[in-house]
Amino acid sequence: MTTGTITAAAAGSWRLGDLEVNRVGFGAMRITGSGAFHQGVPSDRGRAIAVLRRAVELGVNHVDTAAFYFSRLRSANELINSALAPYPEDLVITTKVGPGRDPSGEWYGAKPEQLRGQVEENLRQLGRDHLDVVNLRLFGPRGTTPAAELFGALAELRQAGLIRHLGLSNAGAEDLAEARAIAPVVCLQNPYGIDIRREDDGLVRECAAAGIAYVPFFALATTGREGGRGGGEYPAVEEVARAHGATPAQVRLAWTLGRGANVLAIPGTGDPDHLAENVAAGALRLTAEETARLDALGGPEAGAR
């Protein structure tokens, strides 16, 4: 499919509270470098900045980031600040707190009293006075972190004016219910894709009914390859891609967006060509037959690659 003239507006838009965003956004995790949690080879700084600027030129106005996205020499928040400040008025930056990494890269789970420091760290790095959306990323396996106390601490920071809207990440239906009893939730961000965590199908519909955005990450990954695109693709995905003159990654994104008007995609890349392909996927419309065929890949009868 042609990518050159397609912008992020092709996929339509959704509102995060009072903030309207195009449904194809950009995830900043991959722009810092390669390796597990990006402690491998740092990215080329100029190329990363160019990709961020090109994303905005292509109509992306939803950027997902976190202070813990850093490699040995690169910080995603610093790259975003350098590339995009002064920020366009319609740009919405979503970040995450809960997990943290010390300067050596070691992980920890924040206590409620540590969340203000994490919020302020994001503010400093991004050069902002408030954060548009902050997701509480529940640390560890889903269901092991009590959400209420942590979310309550973020709700207090929202009341103080440091945060505009709140969301959740790595959360289930019970976590969502607990959080909504404390403060409004505008988005839920979970791993999800054609063959990843399809047990969230019902949660996607629950969020839609409540006016909450569902924001999958790892939507381009195949099972067992949640760190990035590529490797062991299903023949069905490849066949649908050939039928549309598209790439398998574009088909995966189109399937994801087709799950509901409340579903937002945040594919990340450090490659300008992949960026254009990801944005163009917002214009790809799958047939009902193709969608049903891809749906079946995540069911109990899913076939081998």
**pLDDT tens, residue by residue, 248-264:** 999 999 999 999 999 99
User: Is the pLDDT at 300 greater than 60, yes or no?
Assistant: no
- Residue 1: predicted pLDDT: 67
- pLDDT-derived band at 145 (thresholds 50, 70, 90) equals confident
| Closest to 208 (Cα-Cα) out of 260, 257, 151 | 260
Residue 69 designated active-site = yes
User: Is the pLDDT at 12 greater than 80, yes or no?
Assistant: yes
User: Is the pLDDT at 301 greater than 50, yes or no?
Assistant: no
- Residue 258: predicted pLDDT: 97
**pLDDT tens, residue by residue, 171-228:** 999 999 999 999 999 999 999 999 998 999 999 999 999 999 999 987 676 544 444 4
What is 19-298's CATH topology?
Answer: TIM Barrel (3.20.20)
* Mean pLDDT score across all residues of the chain: 91
Least confident among 20-29, 99-108, 162-171: 99-108
In the chain, the percentage of residues whose pLDDT exceeds 70 is 90
Which residue ranges make up each domain of the chain? 19-298
- Residue 230: predicted pLDDT: 47
pTM, entire model: 0.92
- pLDDT-derived band at 102 (thresholds 50, 70, 90) equals confident
User: Is the pLDDT at 76 greater than 70, yes or no?
Assistant: yes
- pLDDT-derived band at 94 (thresholds 50, 70, 90) equals very high
- pLDDT-derived band at 142 (thresholds 50, 70, 90) equals low
User: Is the pLDDT at 57 greater than 80, yes or no?
Assistant: yes
Residue 183 and residue 157 in contact, taking contact as beta carbons nearer than 8 Å: no
- Residue 42: predicted pLDDT: 87
CA–CA separation, 187 and 159 (whole Å): 18
User: Is the pLDDT at 232 greater than 70, yes or no?
Assistant: yes
HSE of 173, CA atoms in CB hemisphere, 13 A: 11
Give me the mean pLDDT over the 150-172 stretch.
97
Residue 1 and residue 280 in contact, taking contact as beta carbons nearer than 8 Å: yes
Beta carbons within 8 Å of 21's beta carbon, 6+ residues apart: 13, 14, 15, 61, 62, 92, 264
